[in-house]
Chains A and B, each alone.
Chain A
Amino acid sequence: MKIHWTAVYVLWRREMIRYVRAKSRIFGSLAMPVFFLAFLGLGFRRMPVPGMGGGAGYIGYLAPGIIGMTLLFSSSMQGMSVLWDKEFGFLKEIMVAPVSRVSLVLGRIAGGTTTSMLQGILIFGASLVMGFRFRGPAALAFGLVFMVLISFTFIGLGLVFASRMKDMQGFGIVMNFIIFPFFFLSGALTPLENFPWAIRALSYADPLTYGIDGLRGVLTGTSSLPVLVDLLVMAGFAVIMLFLGAYFFETSEGV
């Protein structure tokens, strides 16, 4: 299938223009992760976290989790922005254009990844203000790799849902019963080791678990699984979810 790069670019550009113009949305979506960081970080300041060495404290454990959370929410939202376009009619304008459907999917992924990476990086900045310390530029570079993989995975998931939903009505259900469980199961706030085995088993089926663990591993040097395992599993999830998202989007009779 032919890829129309101009179409990918113009879809990406549209997403950037919208992102920059919706200032209230940017602040709105950053508020929750910042509150999490501030209140949980302060509240559990003196709590020792098993396995976290080097006096990093709870903020060292929490910050990668909250970055992961930000990416989870903003990228699954981006994937589902197809539904917004459906609601406001713009989807028809996109669907009737003479470009391959693959180009449309790629354009969405490009735009969605960029905006959720921007959100993630802003939260990373906020966590530095809260006292989070990471291991240096190389660690940050590897961290960005994990962040991109998390974004890909959940944009793909968002596309899958958006392609099978008719309107925004099911949105709340998806958020409450799918996205939030992904967040809580991932060990973003609390070490997996504390969960009973049944819940832990579910955690290991959650892509975000590997994303956050890997991010924590490269940034702080402490992780519950080897970073290489996290990287491989996360990359696998990203590829599968992107493929599924593209497939579902292409086969939906979306107008």
Chain B
Amino acid sequence: MDAIRAAGLVKTFDGFTAVDRISFAVEEGELFGLLGPNGAGKTTTINMLATLLRPTSGSATVAGFDVARDRDAVRKSIGIVFQEPALDGRLTGRENLEFHTMMYGIGKAERRRRIDEVLALVELTDKAATVVDKYSGGMKRRLEIARGLTHRPKVLFLDEPTLGLDAQTRRHIWEYVRKLNKEAGVTIILTTHYMEEADFLCDRVAIMDHGAFAALDAPSRLKDILGGDVVSLELEGDTAAFLDSLGRLDWIRRSKLHDDVLSLTMERGERRIAELVVMAQQFGVTVNCVNLRKPSLEDVFLHFTGRTIREQEANQSERNRALMMGHMGRSR
């Protein structure tokens, strides 16, 4: 059974289409990413799947339950970590988790055990009795992720889980998310506008732009579409014969010599480096330096939308401002 199945999902706010007929399926145990700039419709999609917003049209099931008709069953099967903090700052970490577990009807002994377990997982055990208002941004985020796990959801939604966090905390959170997905088998849907995040974590990524999917595939496959990796070799010696024989290899898609740096485009560059170096030696050419550059999702995004994600965000915020002026601050 698919963990999520969406068919023609649409959400409009006062005539503005935030999500425009998206259809996709997420397998059980998959780590699925929604990548796109702010305002692309990622959060709206998540909110519809999590029963917080009713779809304008189309349908979706989560863990086999319909998000419009079977809201309570959906709510029982999911955990969600929101983009903006959703903690009660006047309660302690433990009290926030107690609130949550009681809302999900978990019995007293079990509650205690699970809370201790998740607190240990996110390394907040010794901060459990501190009021959340005194937590740092990273600690709040970790507490929220812990909270999303206490009721053992089948599907976990993470909306921009590392937004605004420092690099080290981000790494930590990535580790948790991975562990959770691989060891506990939780299906995870995350939204992000960080390329590295989608690349590092996700089995498959949907590139979202203006409320629709521009592409959907495994990050490596998406990058392959761009023609592959670039291997750069810094050469020394008489290179003519070497270049000549390279020209006869069919797996090299493009080659370019700039000063003494040769750039070659190919698929799976890491598997070809050794071969290239050996060949160079056979032709008496010394290789001083080798560099392999994998195309990033940023390149993929550029390829599919014609713009970089940053340009996109600049434009989007202008559009949002225009929208706000139109009808004062309707939140997405």
| Interface of A toward B, CB cutoff 8 Å | 4, 6-7, 9-10, 14, 17-18, 21-22, 88-100, 166, 253, 255
Q: How far is the CB of A103 from chain B (nearest CB, A)?
A: 9
Q: Does B84 sit at the interface, judged by CB under 8 A?
A: yes
A10 contacts B51, CB within 8 Å? no
B88-105: CB near A (< 8 Å → 1, else 0) gives 111100010011101111
B52 contacts A96, CB within 8 Å? yes
B296-332: CB near A (< 8 Å → 1, else 0) gives 0000000000000000000000000000000001010
Q: How far is the CB of B80 from chain A (nearest CB, A)?
A: 6
Q: Does B54 sit at the interface, judged by CB under 8 A?
A: yes
Most buried by A among B51, B86, B90, B103: B103
Q: Does B87 sit at the interface, judged by CB under 8 A?
A: yes
Q: How far is the CB of B294 from chain A (nearest CB, A)?
A: 37
A18 contacts B88, CB within 8 Å? yes
Q: How far is the CB of A96 from chain B (nearest CB, A)?
A: 6
**Complex formed: what's the CA distance from A90 to B102 in Å?**
15
Q: How far is the CB of A145 from chain B (nearest CB, A)?
A: 31
What residues of chain A lie closer than 8 Å to B238, measured between beta carbons? none
**Complex formed: what's the CA distance from A6 to B331 in Å?**
32
User: Given contacts A96-B50, A96-B52, A98-B72, are A7 and B86 in contact (CB under 8 A)?
Assistant: no
* A10, closest chain B residue (CB): B102
**Complex formed: what's the CA distance from A166 to B327 in Å?**
13
**Complex formed: what's the CA distance from A93 to B86 in Å?**
6
User: Given contacts A96-B80, A253-B54, A255-B52, are A14 and B75 in contact (CB under 8 A)?
Assistant: no
Interface pairs A-B: 8 shortest CB-CB: A98-B75, A97-B103, A89-B86, A10-B102, A98-B76, A93-B86, A255-B52, A92-B86
What residues of chain A lie closer than 8 Å to B82, measured between beta carbons? 89, 92-93
What residues of chain B lie closer than 8 Å to A10, measured between beta carbons? 98-99, 102-103
Q: Does B53 sit at the interface, judged by CB under 8 A?
A: yes
Which residues 77-129 of B sit at the A interface, judged by CB distance below 8 A?
78, 80, 82, 84-91, 95, 98-100, 102-105
**Complex formed: what's the CA distance from A18 to B103 in Å?**
18
Q: Does B47 sit at the interface, judged by CB under 8 A?
A: yes
**Complex formed: what's the CA distance from A9 to B54 in Å?**
28
B87 contacts A89, CB within 8 Å? yes
User: Given contacts A97-B104, A166-B331, are A90 and B88 in contact (CB under 8 A)?
Assistant: yes
User: Given contacts A6-B105, A96-B51, A98-B75, are A90 and B329 in contact (CB under 8 A)?
Assistant: no
What residues of chain B lie closer than 8 Å to A253, measured between beta carbons? 53-54
What residues of chain B lie closer than 8 Å to A22, measured between beta carbons? 90
**Complex formed: what's the CA distance from A240 to B82 in Å?**
35
* A85, closest chain B residue (CB): B88
What residues of chain B lie closer than 8 Å to A99, measured between beta carbons? 103
User: Given contacts A89-B85, A90-B86, A98-B75, are A7 and B103 in contact (CB under 8 A)?
Assistant: yes
Given A14-B99, A96-B51, A255-B47, 17 extra CB contacts under 8 A: A4-B105, A10-B98, A10-B103, A14-B95, A17-B91, A21-B90, A88-B85, A88-B89, A89-B84, A92-B82, A93-B87, A93-B88, A96-B75, A97-B104, A98-B75, A98-B105, A166-B329
What residues of chain A lie closer than 8 Å to B86, measured between beta carbons? 89-93
Most buried by A among B75, B88, B105: B88
**Complex formed: what's the CA distance from A22 to B133 in Å?**
13
Q: How far is the CB of A57 from chain B (nearest CB, A)?
A: 42
Most buried by B among A9, A18, A255: A255
**Complex formed: what's the CA distance from A182 to B91 in Å?**
34
Could you write out 30 A-B pairs with CB less than 8 Å apart? A4-B105, A6-B103, A6-B105, A7-B103, A9-B102, A10-B103, A14-B88, A14-B91, A14-B95, A17-B90, A18-B91, A22-B90, A88-B85, A88-B88, A88-B89, A89-B84, A89-B85, A89-B87, A90-B86, A93-B86, A93-B87, A93-B88, A94-B103, A96-B51, A96-B75, A97-B75, A98-B104, A166-B329, A253-B54, A255-B47
* B82, closest chain A residue (CB): A92
* A18, closest chain B residue (CB): B90
What residues of chain A lie closer than 8 Å to B78, measured between beta carbons? 96
Q: How far is the CB of B168 from chain A (nearest CB, A)?
A: 25
**Complex formed: what's the CA distance from A17 to B131 in Å?**
11
What residues of chain B lie closer than 8 Å to A100, measured between beta carbons? 72
**Complex formed: what's the CA distance from A224 to B98 in Å?**
49
What residues of chain B lie closer than 8 Å to A14, measured between beta carbons? 88, 91, 95, 99
What residues of chain B lie closer than 8 Å to A98, measured between beta carbons? 72-73, 75-76, 103-105
Most buried by B among A10, A22, A253: A10
B55-84: CB near A (< 8 Å → 1, else 0) gives 000000000000000001101101010101
**Complex formed: what's the CA distance from A89 to B54 in Å?**
19
- Looking at the complex, which one of A9, A90, A166 makes contact with B87 (CB distance below 8 Å)? A90
User: Given contacts A21-B90, A98-B75, are A92 and B52 in contact (CB under 8 A)?
Assistant: yes
What residues of chain A lie closer than 8 Å to B72, measured between beta carbons? 98, 100
What residues of chain B lie closer than 8 Å to A18, measured between beta carbons? 88, 90-91
**Complex formed: what's the CA distance from A229 to B331 in Å?**
46
Most buried by A among B47, B50, B73, B86: B86
What residues of chain B lie closer than 8 Å to A4, measured between beta carbons? 105
What residues of chain B lie closer than 8 Å to A7, measured between beta carbons? 102-103
